[in-house]
Every structure is written in C-alpha cells, then in structure tokens.
Amino acid sequence: MRNFAAFPLLALPVLVYNLVALTLDGGFSAVDAHARMTEGLFTIRMASNVDWPVTLGDLFLAAALVVLFIELLKSTTSRGVAIVNHALSMILFIICLIQFLLAPAFATSTFFLITLMVLLDVLAGFIVTIVAARRDIDFGGNDG
C-alpha cells in the first residue's frame, strides 16, 4: 500500500489520453486528435431546455479534476513517501510538457489543461511539504 501512495494518480488520465492518441491513425503524429476530443458523445437536457453536448475532452477533464482533488488531499500528508510522489509528479509533468510541445496528437486544449493540472499538483505538493516542514521546525524550536 505504501508504494501505491507514491504513485501520482494524475498519470491515469495522462495514460488514458495516450491510449486514445495511439489508437488514432498515425499515433503520436495524428492531427485529428482535436476532432476526437471535441466530438460529441452524448447530450444532456438542461433545466433551461437547452442541450449540453458532452465531449470526450469534457470527460477527460472532469476525471482529471477529480483525480487532482485526490492528489491535493494526498499532498497534505507529510510522510517520507510524499517526496517520492513529488519526484514522480515532476517526471510526469516533464513527460506531459514534451508530449504537448512535440507530438501533434497532444497539441489539444484538453491535454494542455491536463498538463496544467499535473503542474499544479507538483507546485501544490512542494508548497504543502515546505509549509508542513516549516511548521514542524517552528514547533520543534519552542522546546527549549
């Protein structure tokens, strides 16, 4: 269970996006990724009597936001495994950034926002760890 705590959960939406991108004709170099992400999957009739078209990109972003929330909760723990999680999250961000910049199938708004969520996870993890360490030092310094 301890090893699972170090795993950055935002890798899951990134992995699923990669699987979708690789199933396109042309793989990483596919230019029709934007069309697949913005293609309507189903519609929901709203109370205002308007149809809301839900796309694959919308579902990716909703799932990634839920995962980001869980990651932010995980970052509040000040265990030693948190350092490994921060390092793996940083590696994940670098991979996402490289894919976004260099592979046409990843040059979509959906993947950019997922990459931004990974960056926010990295920043929040480091900030929470620093604040927790500062608090531990402040409490430890008052023992004298």
| Amino acid in the structure at residue 34 | H
- The structural domain count of the chain equals 1
How do strand 51-55 and strand 40-45 relate by DSSP bridges? antiparallel
pLDDT in tens, 72-126: 888 776 667 778 888 899 999 999 999 999 999 999 999 999 999 999 999 988 8
Whether 142 is in a domain gets the answer no
Note down the domain range covering 128.
2-132
Rounded to whole angstroms, the Cα distance separating 71 from 138 reads 26
pTM tops 0.75, yes or no: yes
Q: Please answer whether residues 29 and 84 qualify as being in contact, where contact means their C-beta atoms are separated by less than 8 angstroms.
A: no
- Side-chain half-sphere exposure of 14, counting CA atoms within 13 A: 24
**Residue 95 is assigned to a structural domain of this protein:** yes
Round the average pLDDT of the chain to a whole number and report it: 86
What 18-23 contacts at long range (C-beta under 8 Å, 24+ apart), as own/partner pairs, is 18/99, 20/56, 21/103, 21/105, 21/106
